[in-house]
Structures are given as structure tokens and as C-alpha cells.
Amino acid sequence: MLQYTCDFCGKIKGPRETWLLGLAAESVSPSSAHRTVTMAIAWDEDRAVDPLAVHFCSVKCKENYIKSLFDREPGKGEVIEEETVELLPAARRQVKRQAPRKNAQSRTRKRKRAA
């Protein structure tokens, strides 16, 4: 019998509890690091045993987990790529920015729209 634990708080999943399931991946190269978390629409036992699967007992734990991965200030000169994907048709947005420089004037972000 498999036992699932919340990847943020460590709570053990009960047999009839509804939990959130996602897949988390990270790739690191000498020039960049890329992290993604993709949430599943519903719990799926086949996906839940995937080595990249992440399990959450609540939305709050999912948000805290993602915050711990992504809420950090970039290093000097580090380039960050942000992508927002809406589930409804309309938009895919990519934004590239550099870490803010000390004693530099505020610059506006350049936004590119994907085709």
C-alpha cells in the first residue's frame, strides 16, 4: 500500500481525502535554471506515483510550496523568464527581465507576446 504525504507540511493522505496533484521539474545548466510546477485537474493514481509528482493536502500548502520555490530575488545580472498560461483561450505571455541594479533608475518591462 502506498502512502502519500503533503510535500509542504508532511500530512499523510487518507484513503478518501481529496488532494491536489502536480508535477514539478527543474533543469539547471551553466547559464540558467528552469523550474516548473504543473497542476493536474484531478487526482490520478498513475500520475501520483511519478518520480516528479508533488502532493498537497490543501491549496494553502500548494501556494506555500510554490512560493518557497519561486519567491526569491534574482542575483545581479540574472535573467528571469516568466510565463503565464491561461486555461481559457486568449493569451500566452512571456516576460524577460534582468535583476534590478542598485542605484539605477527604474526601467519599464518589455513585453513580448507569443504567436
- Segments in the chain below pLDDT 70: 72-115
The predicted-structure confidence for 62-82, as pLDDT tens digits, reads as follows 999 988 887 766 666 666 666
Residue showing cell 513585453: 111
pLDDT of residue 90: 47
Q: What is the dihedral of CA 99, 32, 35, 67, to 10 degrees?
A: -30
pLDDT of residue 4: 95
pLDDT of residue 54: 95
- Distance CA(97)–CA(25), nearest Å, equals 22
